[in-house]
Amino acid sequence: MSMDSIIEKWFSTRDQKITWGISLAFFIIFPIYFANLTSFLPDGAVVNSGDSVAGNWNVKVTENIEASDSDEVNMDDGEIFELEFTYDDMTTNLAYVEIVVKHDELNERGPAGGPAGQVAKWPEQCDTVDVAIDMDGVNGYVMNSSTTESTSSNCPSEQVLRIYMVENYSDAGGEMESTKNEILAMYDDGDQGRGDWFGEITLTVNTGSGPGPSGPTANRDNGEVVTIEWKVVSVEVEITAVTDTTIS
Ligand SMILES: [Ca+2]
Ligand SMILES: [Ca+2]
């Protein structure tokens, strides 16, 4: 088949000419489109290919409190305070849930009076507060970096429990050498942390006393004031190119 007859075979009719014209247009347009793919996408869009731009990016991390509450509870010895809340919003990107439990020793004192009229005052003993968060009603969290149980030691006591939804979470941000998509993935909550949160805060009173068994001469302590705070914290990430960036 000669070249003339090939041309005649493929370009003879009007339809064939149109088909070739369209094909040629795509040959020209597609390389331009793929070379500039990221610029056609909205901010934060995910490109599922290896073509994402790698380089140096400034990463700014902003935390927002999505829900929170606090209670100051007058607890008796052995009393259990039940902490309960529900968080279901899927539109946020959760970093962590933080639970803070605080107490001091406010009400322990020695017995009034005595044989010589003096007040026996033994050293005070800090009460114990145990915190246990039950994660059964929540749809997932990062187990290896989260704290779901805690016990107080000295007074004043502040126990901070954080339950993370993002692996290796840090709010530091700064300059990162990566692709935009990898940076966004680093702060993704994987839809975890939603559901019914439940915790138990238990007070155990400890009372100071002199040597030997504690009796009427021991200190008195009928409970403690315990403050319980919780907050659901989301994270927003702003990624901007560093000037003098190297595109690899
Ligand atoms: Ca005490
Ligand atoms: Ca007390």
Per-residue pLDDT tens digits for 55-68: 899 999 999 999 99
Report CA(121)–ligand 2 centroid distance (Å).
15
Q: How confident is the model at residue 20 (pLDDT cuts 50, 70, 90)?
A: low
Ligand with an atom nearest the CA of residue 125:
1
Report CA(204)–ligand 1 centroid distance (Å).
9
Mean predicted confidence (pLDDT) in 5-34: 67
pTM for this prediction: 0.73
Report CA(205)–ligand 2 centroid distance (Å).
6
Per-residue pLDDT tens digits for 132-176: 999 999 999 999 999 999 999 999 999 999 999 999 999 999 999
Neighbours of ion ligand 2 (CB under 5 A): 107, 127, 221, 224
Per-residue pLDDT tens digits for 22-42: 676 666 666 666 666 556 555
* Strand positions, DSSP E, 114-246: 128-134, 149-151, 157-164, 174-179, 195-204, 224-241
pLDDT value at residue 169: 98
SS3 126: coil
Cα 220 to Cα 243: distance, rounded to the nearest angstrom: 67
Using left for φ > 0, alpha for ψ between -120 and 50, and beta otherwise, residue 164 falls in: beta
DSSP state at residue 145 = G
Ligand with an atom nearest the CA of residue 223:
2
Contact 80, 201 (CB under 8 A): yes
Report CA(81)–ligand 2 centroid distance (Å).
16
DSSP state at residue 166 = S
Cα 62 to Cα 237: distance, rounded to the nearest angstrom: 6
Task: Give, in order, the Cα–Cα distances in Å from 59 to each of 4, 54, 139.
Answer: 61, 14, 28
Per-residue pLDDT tens digits for 182-212: 999 999 999 999 999 999 999 999 988 766 6
Q: How confident is the model at residue 71 (pLDDT cuts 50, 70, 90)?
A: very high
Q: How confident is the model at residue 124 (pLDDT cuts 50, 70, 90)?
A: confident
pLDDT value at residue 86: 98
pLDDT for residue 45 is more than 90: no
* Domain edges within the chain: 3-40, 54-209+217-241
Select the more confidently predicted residue: 41 or 17. Answer: 17
